[in-house]
A and B are shown apart, each in its own frame.
Chain A
Amino acid sequence: MSGGEELHEVRLTVNGAAYQVRVPARRLLSDCIRHDLGLTGTHVGCEHGVCGACTILLDGDPVRSCLMLAVSADGAQITTVEGLAEPDGTLSPVQQAFADCHGLQCGFCTPGFLTTITAGLRATPDPGEQQAREMVGGNLCRCTGYHNIVASVLRAAQIQRERAARRP
């Protein structure tokens, strides 16, 4: 953190927990989440908004945290990959689907896919294959060739339906 720079107080609610940090105006939201809050599950792959690894949910919407300043997120509700699992620790449908379908290899881009798909399935709970491809169309992965990621989207929708059916 900077010594000479003016610091600004930022209040964030991340994965349900309240945080208050003092950061310079230029601090990227991605750096704030990773290094000020210690939530290193959000990854930075390009720092210019193209790869999508740093995608978080900001007030429910998928947002590239490397393209946003921490100060502009003041007051926001944020969900990162660390906040996706169910309260009892069960993997979320999207997380479970990635495990089921071998949707990840090195895992570096994965948090951005998980957040993106989590939001995508809220908007489109029952996607066809083409919709599944479009849902992940803005995120880069170098390992998987995307095949199993698309399969994971479809599987996640299925798990979501199964879990909803089991709920009393």
Chain B
Amino acid sequence: MTSFFGASVQRVEDDRLLRGLGAYLDDLGDDALAAAFVRSPHAHARITDIDVSGALDVDGLVAIYTFEDLPGRLAEPLPLLIPHPSLTHGRTPYPLAAGEVNHVGEPVVMVVARDRYLAEDAAGQIEVSYQPLPAVVGLAAARAAQHLVHDDVPGNLAGNAVQENGDARAAISAAPHVLELDFEIERSASTPLEGRGVLARWDGQAQRMRIWTSTQTSTGVRAAVAAKLGLALADVDVITPDVGGGFGVKIVHPWPEEVLVPWAARLLGQPVKFTEDRREHFIASAHERAQQHHVRVGFDDGGRILGLDVRFWHDNGAYIPYGLIVPIVTSTQLLGPYKPGAYRVEFDSLYTNTVIVTPYRGAGRPQGAFVMERTMDAIAAALRLDRAVVRERNFIQPGEMPYDQGLIFQDGRPLIYDSGDYPALLAKLKELIGWDQFAAYQQAARAQGRRVGIGLGCYVEGTGVGPYEGGHVVVETSGKVKVATGLTTQGQGHQTVFAQLVADELGVPLADVQIVTGDTRRFGYAVGTFASRAAVMSGSAIALAARKARAKALRVAAEAMEVSADDLEIVDGIVQVKGDPASGIALGTVAVLSNPLRYAFDDAAQAATQFAGGDASRPPVAEGEEPGIEGRAFFSPARSTFASGMHAAIVETDPDTAEVTILRYCVVHDCGRLINPRIVEGQIHGGVAQGVAGALYERMAYDDAGQLQNASFMDFLMPYVSEVPARIEIGHQQTPSPLNPLGIKGAGEAGVIPGAAVLAAAIEDAEGFPVTSMPMSPSDLFELRRTHKDTP
């Protein structure tokens, strides 16, 4: 039998999307009223007055709401989703500002009108008076704490955390060589092509709420809205339509709009919709990445790290609804494939009067990889050793797996790597890019007046974090298989890869399997799509559910065919005695047999009525059995599974314009067994593009007053095709995970993680001076050249 696992089958999602028949959030709810928001123009201010009188005459106006109008729990701050003992001063926003605003873009007034044009007309007539307060912008200002973002948060400090494995400071003091290094990364953001959006319908007769939202967690939104509006969970449905990209920003929930829109829909008895525009997405969703790091590292003559002490500062923006996840990920995943000797890490998470910071693809790992890989390069430079050799000497060896880093990971579980082969990955990468031949190439290029450089970067990524996901598989009497899982999808191709798994497990054609994700009506228990977890978590759960359905089908068929279930197999949707196609009955028929009926409504049902035969002495549904061919299963692993990879790039820097051109970009990657290689490669391509973007182009240009100067696609330099490498050369390695039934690891974030580290290293190699801060624009590089010319 052909296996779909491991095959690059074409995506089942595509036909619909290519015909323009996708249904994204703003494609729904043509009959809905439109919501628009008056947002703060100030980074930090007290609201002294809100005058809505000018808006009241606007044609088509339906309602205006301010904080004063919010009842009950809606008038409380939004939830702090991930509390942590180290998060001592967690602050979250109100759905509408309660007297104070803390970043440009914070919602102050909600307007509902007949359409979006009119809602914006009305919003434009509302006058909010502010008393501006000093704005805290950037980490330097946050650390100086001359001004406070929140009056009751001293030092702007949301939380401080320390983890230590061994006595790092003592190890560094005793080390033959010590380096002190500073590294900085600026802000970027997920920036999906589709922004946020939410549509709500209140059914007054049934007293039920139905919500469509462009989210990475429909069950999370459901629970949050139910709690805020005082509804039973059973009375709220949340449906994730087609989602135009997420990359992390849509895991945050509930957004202010996600509770306000359903509330207004219930109050008004009419459907209400909010569709975010591009400027709103820049100033009112979430960013990531900004961190400053100070490293002390002690090492021996061979470049082996004996002690590593990292202190860093994380800019969490105005509020911290997603907790300390990003800096915790940096502090743990920084270690990558290495044994650091003794390790100590401490971070401060600090408030600033800017947009909130929550995970963006990579989620703290790009910063960690930047710090660790730049440190490796600095050690190599100090000892005049090959950069690859220094890495090799610090690798965890395959024989040391599972490897306990002695820290607590972001899921609250021990940071134990389950499997991986880092020396083999590096050998593969060196071969792919021609590492050992580069010196000659560089020398020849220099002779022609060209500046070229090579860099590499390694990472280990904890994927498939818990607590759980589930899956449900049902075989219909048509033989078609309907599958549901609760987590959501934003373009990863889940409908294809999950169908591949089910088709293999059940022995049915791929085309007969249909997957539904992110619809609480179909599956109510789920966590969400983040941390490269969907394939590992829902994939495993769905495979287990399919195995249950298969066992049930064989049991029912065995009885009907009067053979042992052990002698049966399912081939192409037919249950048959092994190797005997003539003996078979269709899986749909088995579904008919499994469900004894009283009423016939079609031919298949006729065959299943209680008058169709069967042993009259036994109950129609045997004890311990249920009608139908179904399987339902959950997967809850003890720990995350750790994928790994290494990238290398060759760049050329223009001697005059300081422009950086990527000549080659190579990726070797190990995410365990590949379900669909083409889809994994697509994830890598997209991730690398975002890595390049964060290294060379994207930054959030806040001025000192907290105004985001580049809040549009004109000014935020998201790469076009001209900015990404023409070719990304990919090599796979497959080290199965022992932690799940499929042996797989996550692949979603991998491509982005080492981008800044690799390109910084390559630029450094081309230019001959240290590169410690990213992104690196041509003007940044130009300035660096001037600095290093002045101080050779």
Contact = CB atoms under 8 A, between A and B. Distances in A.
B721 A105 contact: no
Given A24-B117, A111-B20, A148 B682 contact: yes
Contacts of A158: none
Interface in A23-45: 24, 26-27, 34-35, 38-45
A105 B194 contact: no
Contacts of B15: 91, 99
A46 B278 CA distance: 5
A80 to B, nearest CB: 7
A99 B10 contact: yes
Contact of B193 (A35, A95, A129, A141): A141
Contacts of A43: 24, 193-194, 244
A157 interface: no
Contact of B728 (A4, A107, A108, A147): A147
Contact of B24 (A95, A105, A108, A137): A108
Contact of A3 (B60, B685, B689): B60
B678 interface: yes
Contacts of B679: 102
B713 A38 contact: no
Interface string B105-123: 0000000001101100000
Interface string B491-507: 11100000000000000
Contact of B19 (A27, A47, A95, A149): A95
A5 B121 CA distance: 12
A98 B193 contact: no
Interface in A109-149: 109-111, 114, 129, 133, 136-149
B720 A137 contact: yes
A28 to B, nearest CB: 9
A104 interface: yes
Contact of B721 (A41, A82, A108, A146): A146
B11 interface: yes
A107 B244 CA distance: 7
Contacts of B342: none
A34 B244 contact: no
Interface residues of B, number: 59
B60 A2 contact: yes
B115 A133 contact: no
Interface residues of A, number: 61
Interface in B713-751: 713-714, 718, 720-722, 724, 726-728, 751
A34 B245 contact: no
- Majority-rule SS of A interface residues: loop
Contacts of A50: 712-714
B14 A98 contact: yes
Contacts, number: 183
B277 interface: yes
Nearest to B727: A147
Nearest to B689: A145
B722 A133 contact: yes
Interface string A73-87: 000000011101100
B100 interface: no
B278 A110 contact: no
Given A50-B712, A133-B722, A106 B14 contact: no
Contacts of A24: 117
A148 B491 CA distance: 14
A91 B20 CA distance: 11
Nearest to B8: A102
A43 B17 CA distance: 12
B193 A3 contact: no
Nearest to B693: A142
Interface string B5-25: 000001101110111111110
Nearest to B676: A102
7 tightest A-B CB contacts, nearest first: A41-B20, A106-B491, A108-B244, A145-B689, A107-B17, A81-B20, A145-B685
Interface of B: 10-11, 13-15, 17-24, 26-27, 30, 59-60, 114-115, 117-118, 191-194, 242-245, 247, 277-278, 490-493, 678-679, 681-682, 685-690, 712-714, 718, 720-722, 724, 726-728, 751
28 contacts: A24-B117, A35-B115, A40-B20, A47-B278, A53-B193, A81-B19, A91-B15, A99-B15, A99-B18, A102-B679, A105-B492, A106-B193, A107-B13, A107-B22, A108-B22, A133-B721, A133-B722, A137-B720, A137-B721, A140-B713, A140-B720, A142-B192, A144-B689, A145-B686, A145-B687, A145-B689, A150-B721, A150-B726
Given A99-B18, A102-B678, A142-B192, 17 more contacts: A2-B114, A2-B115, A40-B26, A45-B194, A45-B278, A48-B714, A82-B20, A91-B18, A99-B10, A102-B10, A106-B490, A107-B14, A107-B18, A107-B244, A108-B24, A142-B191, A145-B686
Interface of A: 1-5, 24, 26-27, 34-35, 38-48, 50-51, 53, 80-82, 84-85, 91, 95, 98-100, 102, 104-111, 114, 129, 133, 136-150
